[in-house]
Amino acid sequence: NFYLFIDTFHWYEEEDAYIYTRIMLGSTLAWARASATCLNFNCMLILLPVSRNLISFLRGASICCGGALRRQLDKNIAFHKMVAYGIAVNATIHIVAHLINIERYHTSQSTEAGELRNKLSGLGKSPNESYLNPIRTYETNTTGEVLNTIAGITGVVITVALILIMTSSTELIRRSCYEVFWYTHHLFVVFFIGLIIHGMGLVSPTTKVHTDHCSLTQRNFLVPHACVCSLEAHDVSMEQGTGSTMFCGVLLFSPLSLQFDSCHVVTYSSGVLELHMKKCGFKMGPGQYIFLQCPSVSWLEWHPFTLTSAPEEDFFSVHIRVVGDWTAALFKAFGAQEKAFKELWMLPRLAVDGPYGSATTDVFHYRVSVCIAAGIGVTPFASILKSIWYKCCNPNTELALQKVYFYWICRDPSAFEWFADLLFHLESKMDEKGKNDLLSYHIFLTGWDESQATHIALHYDDKMDVITGLRQKTCYGRPNWDNEFKQLAENHPSNSIGVFFCGPKNLSKILQKTCNSYSSVDPRGVHFHYNKESF
């Protein structure tokens, strides 16, 4: 951005072709054009980090994208926001510069502007003569004149669209009124169409390029070989290039979706809906996520859900917890609140966009992996743990992963219901195969009432855990991450350990700081590589 701004600014500030316009406008010509160049670049760039197909492709291209670079892909939303700030800054500069330009064009028609600016503003009064000043008389209403041009109208439209997009993207609105953010963000279609038309509108259809022997130049201004109308001629190639650049970004962003029928539906008393769908041309990896749309609930809303099935299974599944209006409506659509059995043909159809890669897909690239989940953030690890099991059972699969530590922090005991079944199944199967050393899991319960505490205390000495029914006993309270990571470093002193987290931001910051603290400065020592899940 700095290079583009400085290079373009210098071009318009120094090039002889723009000397006449600079006489009227001064440096604001260069400010307007330099910020426009950066705007064009950023408007192409802002689509790349939210092009989920592109991100998934880069994440899967291990030859072209190593582990360190793949971890940067997890910051795609942060990069998207950074580019948006760049657009906001350059748009502000561009708008302010053009407002000053319009005022200077207007004052150039006044008698107080001086003979030179008056002469330049007077160009175009003769038949078939091009003009340099779009404000033809001093009495012209500048606002009306601007709104009578394509560039002016589209400039207002894209400015309003940009303001609505950015103001609705604040964290307060995203958290309290997500639908407002989601729908308003789709004004990007209006923004990009307006931006392309805006650039095309800057090219005047009546432009005529003067010859090097322009009589006006030689007689009055003593600047040989400078063309009055070269500004428009140079703008043509720049705007055409901009349109093709942004079009490439739009193509990369375009999503695809497929329609699926549910083949199996399970409801849990904890308010979780499990949906199974047949794999009809659907290829997935462990830990990936999809976007779901239910037309019978809403034609416009798409919501992300992590796949909880393994790639080795002949179906793909998601677990959906009731946490809002859309999920509550989905529960009702699938008859989750009814006790009567429903035939499959009576269930609503779902549109699926994906699957897309995520940070957790890199679990298998490490010899030792630490998976940490908080609350419903456990869903991506359901797919990972299932896939680990299938790979262990397949003698033809070489598994680099030798040890997995799994931590789950949960507030509500009822949330253990569906995931405890999966852990119980894995625990039994690994015991049969003699692979108990592969998976070490630790479950932490942070919320309970008095009656539950009494029940836990009475059954503390039981062989099976009273909450989960597993052999591994549930821990109560929050984990001490310093102790946990210190123990991990001691157990694996010379390993690169992948740490994968899905949960709230506050805990993510703590874990990232802890990973850095316990990573050795010695290249031969232990190193924790932090990866976080983000949508």
**Residues 59, 41, 238, 95, Cα dihedral to 10°:** 160
Options 1.10.10.200, 3.40.50.300, 3.40.50.80, 3.10.450.230; CATH of 359-532? 3.40.50.80
Q: Do the first three CATH levels of 258-356 and 359-532 match, i.e. the same topology?
A: no
Tokens found for residue 256: 């695809």
Q: Mean of the pLDDT values across residues 109-138? A: 74
pLDDT digits (tens, 9 = 90+) for 449-466: 665 555 555 555 566 665
CA atoms of 4 and 90, how far apart (whole Å): 12
CB 533 within 8 A of CB 359: yes
What pLDDT is recorded for position 471? 61
**Number of Cβ atoms within 10 Å of the Cβ of 219:** 8
Question: Of residues 409 and 63, which shows the higher confidence score?
Answer: 409
CB 245 within 8 A of CB 255: no
What pLDDT is recorded for position 237? 34
Q: Mean of the pLDDT values across residues 46-56? A: 84
Give 268: exposed, middle or buried? Use CB within 10 Å, 0-12, 13-18, 19+.
Answer: middle
What pLDDT is recorded for position 236? 33
What pLDDT is recorded for position 257? 57
Tokens found for residue 459: 């059954």
CATH of domain 258-356: 2.40.30.10
Share the mean pLDDT of the chain.
77
What pLDDT is recorded for position 160? 95
What pLDDT is recorded for position 442? 83
Distances (CA, A) of 126 to 116, 475, 516: 18, 89, 73
The per-residue b/e assignment along 86-107, b for 16 or more CB within 10 angstroms, e otherwise, is bbeebbebbbebbebbbebbbe
Dihedral sign of CA atoms 236, 241, 244, 250 in order = negative
Locate the domains of the chain by residue range.
2-253, 258-356, 359-532
Tell me if the pTM is above 0.75. no
Which of 34-48, 134-148, 188-202, 478-492 is predicted least confidently? 134-148
What pLDDT is recorded for position 223? 29
SS (H, E, C) 87-116: HHHHHHHHHHHHHHHHHHHHHHCCHHHCHH
CA atoms of 447 and 453, how far apart (whole Å): 10
Position 496 confidence tier, pLDDT thresholds 50, 70, 90: confident
CA nearest 243: which of 235, 255, 233, 232?
Answer: 235
Residue carrying the six token digits 């940009």? 162
pLDDT digits (tens, 9 = 90+) for 230-262: 333 333 333 444 455 555 555 555 555 566 666
CA atoms of 422 and 429, how far apart (whole Å): 11
